[in-house]
Structure 1
Amino acid sequence: MSFRSPFAIPRHIWNSAAPSAVRPVARSLVGCTSYQRSRFATAVPPVTQDATGSKGPTAMVFLNMGGPSTTDEVEDFLSRLFADGDLIPLGRLQSYLGPLIARRRTPKIQQQYSDIGGGSPIRKWSEYQCKEMCKLLDKMSPETAPHKPYVAFRYAAPLTETMYEQLFADGFGNGKGGRAVAFTQYPQYSCSTTGSSLNELWKWRNRLEGKRANGEADPAGTIQWSVIDRWPSHPGLIEAFAQNIEAQLKTYPAEKRNEVVLLFSAHSLPMSVVNRGDPYPAEVAATVHAVMQRLGFSNPYRLCWQSKVGPKAWLGAQTSDTVQEYVKRGHTDLILVPVAFTSDHIETLYELDLEVMEEANSPGVKRAESLNGNPVFIQALADLALEHMNKGELCSRQLTLRCQGCTSERCLGQKKFFAGKENEALVL
């Protein structure tokens, strides 16, 4: 498959071979262009700490990797991505190889974003999901209202530091206190995704209102953070996935429906990360099992992994290879299920729709809808947030446990901060 995810290091960087040409796209995504070309900024009016609820207001901050809203933003997006050693560890050569890879990949990735409508829809969906969730929370939990929506992307606007400055402008922190919940939009935890976003949030907290900002270890009036760091088998998430699969199954003839193979696809990881003890593969598998349990194990299914690139070992089997192999064997009715993404972005709209499905060349190969604006999913987000706030926990117990092979001092410091003083001794 000619597609190479922006997460991964292209083979030609390692092998010094010429980059492959961009394969022409056989079809376009009708109806995607208008929202993918737009920038959707959420206006958040200032709040005061004596607002409606006895425990409010509450800032709800969605964390995600983000994506370029226009093709002009691609190079900056890639530069930040390849500079992140948590996501793509390049060792001592990171500062040299990162910018080199970003520059060389920019034209190809710009073409891919152009093919899906001119940019990623992830900002539009993230801001919509967060805003709608906050509307529900205002009704479900008036004592912590008003709930104010924010988005902090790791590699694209709005960046973490921009979000933090907006919190200040809206009356949180800077001596005024207030509560904020960091809500990862990666349902399954990985050090490369949620871990990286939390490292970035911790870094900017320290720079803007922590020890590095004013010399105090724990200044008064700072934002009080808690974290929803994983939710791979939450019933609402599982229900949303299951309903989308059931809707796609109905497009097949009734006599064939139970024979359709369900292929759950998640972004792969280098085996070096997996072997370090990253919990992501197990948590993705937990999501898949819960969805199949909800479906009554009605169909044969497999979990596969997309976006492998380069000569090093990655978690497999790969989605593209799996589809090709099953079609050759006569399993021509397949449903791809993006199980680790909470909205459409380049991995679904380009890699799955315009690479994997087209190369399969079989009308029976289809994809379940992404979660996007699914009301069942948005209700699940609100239920998760309410449960988190009612429990009063700063983070899950899982967050306090480092990977077996972790040697990162940054990870250690971040986990101790989010675990809080009562639980920081658990982080070793």
Structure 2
Amino acid sequence: MGNYDAIVVLSFGGPERPEDVLPFLENVVRGRGVPRERLLEVEAHYQSMGGASPINAQNRALVEELRKIVDLPVYWGNRNWHPFLEETVAQMKADGIRKAAAFATAATASYSSCRQYREDIARAAAAVPDGPELVKMRHFYDHPGFVAAMADRTRAALAEVGGDARLVFTAHSIPVSMAVSAGPQGNAYERQLREASALVAAEVGASDFDLVWQSRSGPPHIPWLEPDVCDHLETLHAKGVESVVLVPIGFVSDHMEVLYDLDVEARDRAGELGLRLARAGTAGTHPRFVEMIRDLVNEPEPTACPVTCCPAPSRPRPQG
């Protein structure tokens, strides 16, 4: 497959025991100025769901499905929790791997979904001298395999509440400064998510849709992308909408922010408003999504994005 002798799945990581939740969250927000109160609030979300994120189990399942259809060894490493990418790269070196295709579990351009994975790769390379070269695969928001997988998930959700439901696509909110600087020409994060949403909507025969945001975690003085999904449900209700399908287009697996922010908070808000609501699944281990990863590895080696692309967002301090 191409010029690679392995594939490594790069992901965010998540805790698997209650006692790991707070150390994990501290890794995630280090240097970001997130208020302690918000950190403890998010920790409570994890503890209410059993003190573990499902993301690691879902990545293990993705790796196993990928191994069934490729002839290369498949590894997995995380940014924020075990197995850390540095640990994985050390194992790859010990196994004699020299060059690997790196598949990041994020479909779009932004600092946290692209540039930061490149920084993770660079940090692992520094930690493991003479280790394997990792080549990050391209963004896949518009790949037919991703679109087909999300269209299937959306059809299943529409079947729960009726085909006339309003499609509301959701993605992780990010600071406006990060969104504006995403991609070589800027604004790539929102533009790519909107394009992916349009492609999925067209596949299921919907002529219109909304793109909204969820899971804001930053300090209140920094502008983030809006509207929030729960606020948007109130807007739709005021317009007379009776049923909604939430499609988490910005996520590739049903991890904590999907399970809590959509399946708990958004569902509770919909219930209060009397809205019928269904939530589409994420791509997960859908066969078309797994095949997409194989296809990406078989493509010509992608050109690295400019070093000026998707810079880390500035983090101004509160005034006063």
2:177 pairs with 1:272: yes
* Shift in Å, 1:197: 1.8
Name the aligned partner's letter for residue 309 of structure 2. C
Shift of 1:367: 0.4
Q: 114, 123, 126: which is aligned to 2:59?
A: 126
| Contact 2:89–2:132 under 8 Å retained in 1 | no
Find the residue that maps to 2:100 and give its secondary structure.
Answer: strand
Amino acid at match of 2:116: S
Q: Does 1:66 find its partner at 2:13? A: yes
**Cα distance change on mapping 1:275 and 1:374 into 2, 3 Å:** closer
User: What is the CA–CA distance in structure 1 between the aligned matches of 2:236 and 2:143, rounded to whole Å?
Assistant: 31
- Which among 111, 131, 135 is matched to residue 68 of structure 2? 135
Identity %: 27
1:156-197 residue CA offsets vs partner (Å, 9 max, x unmatched): 11112111122123223xxxxx22111111011211222112
1:284 Cα deviation (Å)?
1.0
Corresponding residue number in structure 1 for 2:211: 303
In angstroms, what is the RMSD of aligned CA positions?
2.4
From the superposition, tell whether residues 153 and 407 of structure 1 become closer, same or farther in structure 2 (CA, over 3 Å): closer
Aligned counterpart for 1:367 among listed residues 265, 279, 288: 279
Residue 110 of structure 2 contacts residue 179 of structure 2 at CA under 8 Å; is this kept in 1? no
User: Which residue of the other structure, out of 308, 321, 328, is the alignment partner of 2:231?
Assistant: 321
Q: Does structure 2 retain, via aligned residues, the 8 Å contact 1:189–1:229?
A: no
Check conservation: 1:268, 1:307, Cα contact below 8 A.
yes
AA partner of residue 80 (structure 2): Y
CA contact (8 A) 1:61 1:149 kept: yes
Equivalent of 2:168 in 254, 263, 286: 263
Aligned residue pairs, count: 305
- The alpha-carbon deviation at position 105 of structure 1 amounts to 4.7
Where relative contact order (Cα < 8 A, 6+ residues apart) is larger, the structure is: 2
Matched AA of 1:376: R
Q: For the residues of structure 1 that align with 2:255 and 2:2, how far apart are their CA atoms? A: 38
Post-superposition shift, 1:106? 5.1
1:155 and 2:63 correspond: no
Q: CA deviation at 1:294?
A: 2.1
* 2: CA distance, partners of 1:169 / 1:346: 33
User: Considering only CA atoms, is the larger Rg found in Structure 1 or Structure 2?
Assistant: 1
CA contact (8 A) 2:169 2:249 kept: yes
Write the mapping of 1:102-113 to structure 2, written as runs, cut at 5 A.
104-105=37-38, 107-113=40-46
Partner residue in 2 for 1:167: 92
Q: Do the aligned partners of residues 180 and 267 (structure 1) sit closer, same or farther apart at CA in structure 2, a change above 3 Å counting?
A: same
Gaps of 5+ in 1: 1-52, 89-96, 139-146, 173-177, 211-221, 409-428
In the alignment, is residue 209 of structure 1 matched against residue 129 of structure 2?
Answer: yes
**How far is 1:114 from its partner?**
2.6
The CA deviation string for residues 120-159 of structure 1, in whole angstroms up to 9 with x for no partner, is 1111111211231132012xxxxxxxx1122221111111
- Partner SS for 1:167: helix
Asked whether the 8 Å contact 2:86–2:124 carries over to 1, the reply is yes
What TM-score do you get using the length of structure 2 for normalisation? 0.87
Structure 2: gaps (5+ residues): 314-320
Q: Distance in 2 between matches of 1:114 and 1:349?
A: 13
Is it true that 1:191 corresponds to 2:111 in the alignment? yes
Q: Helix, strand or coil: the match of 1:372?
A: coil
In the alignment, what sits opposite 2:317?
none
Contact 1:262 1:299 in 2 (8 A): no
TM-score, normalised to structure 1's length?
0.66
Secondary structure of the residue that 1:250 maps to in structure 2? helix
2: CA distance, partners of 1:54 / 1:110:
42
Partner in structure 1 of residue 23 of structure 2: 76
